Amino acid sequence: MTDPADLRASTTPTDAPVLVLGIGNELLGDDGVGVVAARRLGTPPIPGVDVLDGGTLGLMLMPYLAGRDAVLILDAVSTAHGRPGDVIVIPDGDVRRGHGVRATAHDIGLVDALAATELAGCAPRRVALVGVVPESVTERWGLSPLLDARVDALVDAARSVLAEWSVLAEEPVLAEQKVQVPGHA
């Protein structure tokens, strides 16, 4: 029972203190940019950080948010924030209050999920949202060329937030580090 491999087999994604959560729907073109960016940010994995594809789970995201030290959300944001491709950071209080967060159903669900963690006494201490203004949200798999070219900028902005939170080590994580998939190592 004390073999570390045994413990690894029961690791769950709720373990890391920091969660990066990509949300959006990849079936709707640029709506999926947060998910695409999360995937890029999570490869290779960052110690102490879980990177999850939150899709459009809305309120069902609550258990993934609960008990974290910090949560960084990656998402497409409203055109009120600028021109397509613009990358913006929405700070903690605004995210929790739903200010500046896009008024689509999955974002409403996210705000509710955050409120539910507060009610349950397990709210993340820090929250931020890094977003990019989409060019076209329509039934299509994959990003528009403009947004595709902005994913790296979104990932860089996300890394800056993580660095502020002192999460990212100065040294880059070695690419050959084994990818740890919860549930079956």
Partner 1 sequence: MSRLVIDPVSRIEGHLRVEVQVDGGQVTEAYASSTMWRGIETILTGRDPRDAWLFAQRICGVCTSVHALASVRAVEDAVGAVPPLNARLLRDLIATSLCVHDHVVHFYHLQALDWVDPTAALAADPVRAAALAQSISDYPRSTAGLFASVQTRLKVFLESGKIGPFTNGYWGHPAYRLSPELNLIAFSHYLDALDFQRDYIRVHALLGGKNPHPQTYVVGGMASPIDLNSQDAINANTLQEVTQILQRGLEFVEQVFLPDLQAIGAAYPEWTTYGRGLGSYMVFGDYSLSPPGIARPPRDGLFPGGIIRNGNLSAKPEPFDPSGIAESVAHSWFRYDDPGAALPPWKGETTPQYTGPEPPFEQLDVAGKYTWLKAPRYQGAAMEVGPVARMLVGYTSGDARIRPLVQGALDALHLPPEALMSTLGRVVARGLETRLMAQYSLELVNRLRDNVAAGDLAVADTGRWRPTSWPEGALLGVGFHEAPRGSLSHWVVIEDGRIRNYQAVVPTTWNASPRDAEGNPGAYEAALVGTPVADPQRPLEILRTLHSFDPCMACAAHIYDAEGRDIIEVRVQ
Q: For binding to partner 1 (CB under 8 A), which residues are involved? A: 3, 5-6, 8-10, 12-14, 25-28, 52-60, 62-64, 66-67, 96-97, 105-106, 108-109, 111-112, 114-122, 139-141, 181-185
Cβ–Cβ < 8 Å for 65, 19: yes
Strands laid side by side in the 18-23 sheet? 49-55, 18-23, 70-76, 126-132, 87-90
**What is the closest distance, in whole angstroms, from the C-beta atom of residue 67 to partner 1 in the complex?**
8
Instruction: Indicate the residue among 66 and 130 with the shorter CB distance to partner 1.
Output: 66
How far is it, in rounded angstroms, from Cα 133 to Cα 43? 23
**What is the closest distance, in whole angstroms, from the C-beta atom of residue 174 to partner 1 in the complex?**
21
**What is the closest distance, in whole angstroms, from the C-beta atom of residue 166 to partner 1 in the complex?**
26
Instruction: Indicate the residue among 44 and 169 with the shorter CB distance to partner 1.
Output: 44
Q: Is 108 exposed, middle or buried (0-12, 13-18, 19+ CB in 10 A)?
A: middle
H/E element, 40: helix 33-41
**What is the closest distance, in whole angstroms, from the C-beta atom of residue 160 to partner 1 in the complex?**
26
